[in-house]
Structure 1
Amino acid sequence: MAEWDLRKLRILRTLRERGTVTATAEALHMTPSAVSQQLTNLARQLGVPLLEAQGRRVRLTDAARLVLSHAEAVFEQLERADAALAAYARGDAGEVRVGAFPTAVPALVVPAVRALRASHPRISVRVREAEAAEAYELLAAGEVDLALSLAAEAPSAADPRLTRVPLLTDPLDVALPAGHPLARAGRLRLPDLAAEPWIFGGSGPWSDITRRACEAAGFSPHQGHSASGWTAILAMVEAGMGVALVPRMAAGRRADVVLRELGPDRPVRHVVGAVRKGAESGTAVTRVLRALHDAAATRAGG
């Protein structure tokens, strides 16, 4: 196989465009002798004559024109590669792998992906659903580039591996059966529900959040039923089997469930993004983080 040298092929193409060795040397900031030497070496590498004398000038041979006809496709592809690399360096292109806890996917990640499709269509987001604590493990292991999780599940802010970015303060509302005596009460506080059967998971972050919120209000919740999925929790509330704390970001609408705000002292959960140190600037990750910020701001404003 012939030995192809892109730098020398560019010199040959410039000679075709400029017409003389001297004009080619000026265009490429070379000496005429260096141009001639490079083209002589290219002819030797390819095994065909590339130039022939025409009076005091030189002209391209048919072999040289054949070589350039194929080289043009290579130059075109390299231009595309340069443009793609420039876009990647600006953060306008590339793939970003996002690990996100279940309720964050429809509430934040999907709106962010939709916005990015319009503003930066060459950024591809690949989503992996993971529980809150697992999202950080995936990030630290290099399996995702950006993790969406809860601050309560995050490693220490002093962790040298990660940079945490606050995204959203998500209020917790109380889900009550529509026929519950307190469903239409003028003002509702958590202690008003101390004697109720509560529905929450047997373990994991939501169990911890529910217990902490109730204990901060002065009582320990009686767990009437155990469930971790919001569909199951809200179905049981709808059936009058108990009450539940529901993050506003996760709440679905059911005909016979009333969601009540708990006032200024309501419990909240803090949603954060996290990236590996250094990845928060100058890459497509920045664009995705910005889109997530915008989705969070829209949700908080709504």
Structure 2
Amino acid sequence: MAEWDLRKLRILRALDERGTVTATAEALHMTPSAVSQQLTNLARQLGVPLLQPQGRRVRLTDAARLVLRHADAVFEELERADATLAAYARGEAGEVRVGAFSTAVPALVVPAVRALRESCPRVSVRVRELEAAEAFESLADGEVEIALSLAAEAPTAADPRFTRFPLLSDPLDVALPPDHPLAGASALGLTDLAAEPWIFGGSGPWSDITRRACEAAGFSPHQAHSASDWTAILALVEAGMGVALVPRMAAARRDGVAMRELTSDRPVRHVVAALRKGSEQAPALANFLAALRSTAAESITRP
């Protein structure tokens, strides 16, 4: 295989453009003898003659023009590579892998991806829906580069593996059957619902959040039904089978359910993003994190 030397190929291309060795030397800040020597070495490396004398000048051989035809394609690809690397260095190209819990995907991740497409269309984002524990395992293992979770389920801020960023405090509203006596109450607190049948998951983060919120208000919720999917929970509420706490940022809503903001004992869940320590300097990741934080800051959720 021939030995290709990009610097010498650029000299050959400059000679084709300038027409003379002297003009080529001036353009490249070389001496004419250095230009001639480099082209002689290139001809030796490629095993074909590149120049023919033509009076006091030289002209390119057919072999040289064949070489340039392929060299131009190489230079074009190198220009594209330079542009791509420059965009990567600015965070305008690359890939970001995100692990997020279910309600964070439509409420935070998708709007952040849309915003990022406007400013950095060559950054691609791959999303995996994960529970909190899975998200941090995947983050630690390098399977994702940013994890969205609840602060209560995340490793502590002192964990040396991760850097945490608070995103937002998500209020929990109560879902009531539309004909519930308290559905139209002027004020509503968790203690008003102490005797109600409750609907929440049998285990996991949402079960813990519901239990903690009710216990902080002074009572232990009676779990009438166990469900973890928001569609299932709200369907049970709509059927008059109980009440449930629902995060404000949850995508699921039903017309047959009365969503009420709690005016006292108002529980919230704190949403955080986490990255591996030091990775926040990666340009594409930093740009996505900025879009995510902006989305969280601009998020206006209502019951």
Task: Decide: shared fold, TM above 0.5.
Answer: yes
Q: Tell me what 2:298 maps to.
A: 298
Q: How does 1:30-41 map to 2 (within 5 A)?
A: 30-41=30-41
- The alpha carbon displacement at 1:134 in A equals 1.1
Please identify, of 289-298 and 194-203, the stretch whose mean Cα deviation from structure 2 is larger.
289-298
Structure 1: how far apart are the matches of 2:119 and 2:15? 41
Q: Is 1:113 matched up with 2:148?
A: no
How does the TM-score come out when normalised to structure 2? 0.94
Q: Which residue is 2:103 aligned to?
A: 103
Q: Number of aligned pairs? A: 302
Residue deviations 1:115-172 (CA, integer Å, cap 9, x gap) = 2223221111111110122111111110011111111111121222211111111000
Distance of 1:243 and 1:296 partners within structure 2: 28
Deviation at 1:41, TM superposition (A): 1.3
Q: Which residue of 2 aligns with 1:198?
A: 198
Q: Is the 8 A contact 1:4 1:45 kept in 2?
A: yes
- Cα distance in 2 between the residues matched to 1:18 and 1:172: 73
Equivalent in the alignment of 2:235: 235
Deviates more, 1:14-23 or 1:285-294: 14-23
Aligned partners of 2:188, 2:55: CA distance in 1, in Å? 100
Matched, 1:211 2:215: no
CA distance in 2, matches of 1:54, 1:277: 65
**Structure 1 residues 40, 123: closer, same or farther in 2, change over 3 A?**
same
Q: Write the mapping of 1:25-174 to structure 2, written as runs, cut at 5 A.
A: 25-174=25-174
SS in 1 for 2:279: coil
The aligned amino acid for 1:64 is A
Contact 1:101 1:130 survives alignment (8 Å)? yes
8 Å Cα contact 1:90-1:282 kept in structure 2: no
Query: How far has the Cα of 1:265 moved from its partner?
Result: 4.5
User: For the Cα contact (< 8 Å) 2:199–2:224, is it kept in 1?
Assistant: yes
**Which deviates further from its counterpart, 159-168 or 193-202?**
159-168
Which amino acid in 2 is paired with 1:158? Answer: A
- Inter-partner Cα distance in structure 2 for 1:203 and 1:166: 25
| 8 Å CA contact retained: 2:106, 2:251 | no
Q: Is 2:23 the counterpart of 1:18?
A: no
More displaced stretch, 47-56 vs 166-175: 47-56
Calculate the TM-score normalised by the size of structure 1.
Answer: 0.95
Secondary structure at the counterpart of residue 296 of structure 1: helix
CA-based RMSD of the aligned residues comes to 1.6
Amino acid at match of 2:171: P
CA distance in 1, matches of 2:237, 2:301: 28
**Aligned residue type for 1:123:** V
Secondary structure of the 2:234 match is: helix
In the other structure, the counterpart of 1:3 is: 3
Give a deviation string over 1:11-58, Cα, whole Å, max 9, x none: 111121223333323333333333222211110111111112233333
- Contact 1:93 1:123 (C-alpha < 8 Å) held by counterparts: yes
CA distance, structure 2, for counterparts of residue 243 and residue 264 of structure 1: 17
CA pair 22-227 structure 1, distance change in 2 beyond 3 A: same
How big is each residue's C-alpha offset from its partner over 1:87-107, in whole Å with a ceiling of 9 and x where there is no partner?
Answer: 111100111111111111111
> What is the CA distance between 1:221 and its match in structure 2?
1.1
Q: Secondary structure at the match of 2:280?
A: coil
* Structure 1 contact 168–300 (Cα < 8 Å) conserved: no
Corresponding residue number in structure 2 for 1:186: 186
For the residues of structure 2 that align with 1:206 and 1:31, how far apart are their CA atoms? Answer: 76
The answer to whether the Cα contact below 8 Å between 2:171 and 2:266 also exists between their aligned partners in 1 is yes
- Unpaired runs of 5+ residues, structure 1, are none
